[in-house]
Amino acid sequence: MKRIAVFTSGGDAPGMNACIRSVVRFALSANLEVLGVLRGFKGLIENEFVNLSTKSVGNIVHLGGTMLYTSRCDEFLTEAGQKKAILNLKKHKIDGVVVIGGNGSFNGALVLENAGFKVACIPATIDNDLYYTDYSLGYDTAVNTVTNLVNNIRDTAQSHERPCVIEVMGAFCGDIALTVGASVGAEIILVPEIKIAEKQIVDAMQKCKEMGKNSCLIITNEKTYKATELTRILNKKAGVDARALEIGHIQRGGSPSALDRTLALKFGAKAIELLKNNKSGAVGQKNGEIFAYILKNAIECDKIFDVKTLKEALVCAGSVLSIE
């Protein structure tokens, strides 16, 4: 292994820059040359390669977003796109690739592995939806960002004695909603993994009202209930005067937390260790241990949802919503 490429792909996540820095610096210290690819798989297809040095990744450890840019690339799903990308990697004499991204990016990485490249994948997505790792880069920062925003929302909800329905990202994974909901003491937490009928939510809201809990917080995952729609239903059927807030992309930006920066450091080191030993794999962390997993296996299962924490969070918030 002489020369590697690194890129970020899919939705950006805080900690991607810290991870690029780690990959580049560990690669250089292992005597590997490093090229960066701009805009993920799109840049592979369009031949957007740049040289990376120790200096080019200076002063980025604290920055959100990604200095290499990112994209979601439909063209890489086609055989023609994949051929172009593979040809460009060969043209640049690349033997190993580090892919920093989420589920979709790992699927793309598998195509490169099947084409004969050694590929090290690093989980980076605020959704935290990869089942083989406890943490993906960006998740910790995102939940802290949203938690802080909800603190502000609570002030105004409490002052006006009215409920607020707050919609968070996470795609089909309820981890952001769960951790934010638990951290802010939300009375109702709605996630895609646990089906809760509209009527149950309306009944719970009515009960809260009867109990004098006027400023309830409802955290909903974006694919479970939309905040505007649920607020309309609650106001009509439970007779409250709730407000809807969609947090949106604010939760994907910002300076990475210390945890995300530390994980980025360790994931980068592990990815280079893999490539240096001529191996592929998906890097992760479970029970505090950094490890590498077989890439193909890292994307074959859905994440197991932590129902126990959901139940505990609802009990502790004095919620009337019951989870079977």
Q: Which stretch binds ligand F6P (CB under 6 A): 114-122, 167-175, 227-235, 257-265?
A: 167-175
CA atoms within 13 A on the CB side of 290: 15
Q: Name the residue among 71, 125, 65 with its Cα closest to residue 253.
A: 65
Q: Which stretch binds ligand F6P (CB under 6 A): 91-99, 125-133, 180-188, 231-239?
A: 125-133
Tell me, residue by residue from 227 to 266, as one string, x for binding to ligand F6P by CB under 6 A and - for no binding: -------------------------x--------------
State the nearest-atom distance from the C-beta of 38 to ligand F6P, in Å.
18
Q: Which of 12, 74, 95, 127 is catalytic?
A: 127
The alpha carbon torsion through 155, 160, 165, 170 (nearest 10 deg) reads -10
Strand order in the sheet with 164-168: 188-190, 217-221, 164-168, 243-246
State the nearest-atom distance from the C-beta of 143 to ligand F6P, in Å.
12
Q: Which stretch binds ligand F6P (CB under 6 A): 43-51, 163-171, 260-268, 300-308?
A: 163-171
With CB under 6 A as the contact rule, the residue among 5, 8, 11, 264 that binds ligand F6P is 11
State the nearest-atom distance from the C-beta of 167 to ligand F6P, in Å.
11
CB 166 within 8 A of CB 153: yes
Q: Give Cβ neighbours of residue 203 (< 8 Å, ≥ 6 apart).
A: none
Known active-site residue 306: no
Tokens of 164: 């607020």
148 or 158: whose CB is closer to ligand F6P?
Answer: 148
Q: Name the residue among 101, 61, 25, 57 with its Cα closest to residue 260.
A: 61
57 or 299: whose CB is closer to ligand F6P?
Answer: 299
Q: Is 125 in the site for ligand F6P (CB under 6 A)?
A: yes
d(CA 32, CA 245): 47
Q: Is 130 in the site for ligand F6P (CB under 6 A)?
A: no
Number of shown-chain residues binding ligand F6P (CB under 6 A): 10
State the nearest-atom distance from the C-beta of 6 to ligand F6P, in Å.
20
State the nearest-atom distance from the C-beta of 171 to ligand F6P, in Å.
4
Near ligand F6P in 85-104, by CB under 6 A: 102
d(CA 11, CA 192): 20
Enumerate the H helices of the chain as residue ranges: 16-29, 40-45, 79-91, 103-114, 139-160, 175-184, 198-210, 227-237, 258-276, 295-298, 307-316
CB 153 within 8 A of CB 309: no
137 or 164: whose CB is closer to ligand F6P?
Answer: 137
CA atoms within 13 A on the CB side of 148: 9
Point out which residues pair with 183 in neighbouring strands. Answer: none
Tell me, residue by residue from 44 to 83, as one string, x for binding to ligand F6P by CB under 6 A and - for no binding: ----------------------------------------
Q: Is 126 in the site for ligand F6P (CB under 6 A)?
A: yes
CB 176 within 8 A of CB 182: no
* Residue carrying the six token digits 């910002």: 254
DSSP state at residue 256: P
Tokens of 273: 């260790």
Q: Is 170 in the site for ligand F6P (CB under 6 A)?
A: yes
With CB under 6 A as the contact rule, the residue among 113, 127, 167, 193 that binds ligand F6P is 127
End-to-end CA distance of the chain: 52
With CB under 6 A as the contact rule, the residue among 28, 50, 60, 171 that binds ligand F6P is 171
Contact residues for ligand F6P, defined by CB under 6 A? 11, 102, 125-127, 169-171, 222, 252
Q: Any idea which residues carry the catalytic annotation?
A: 127
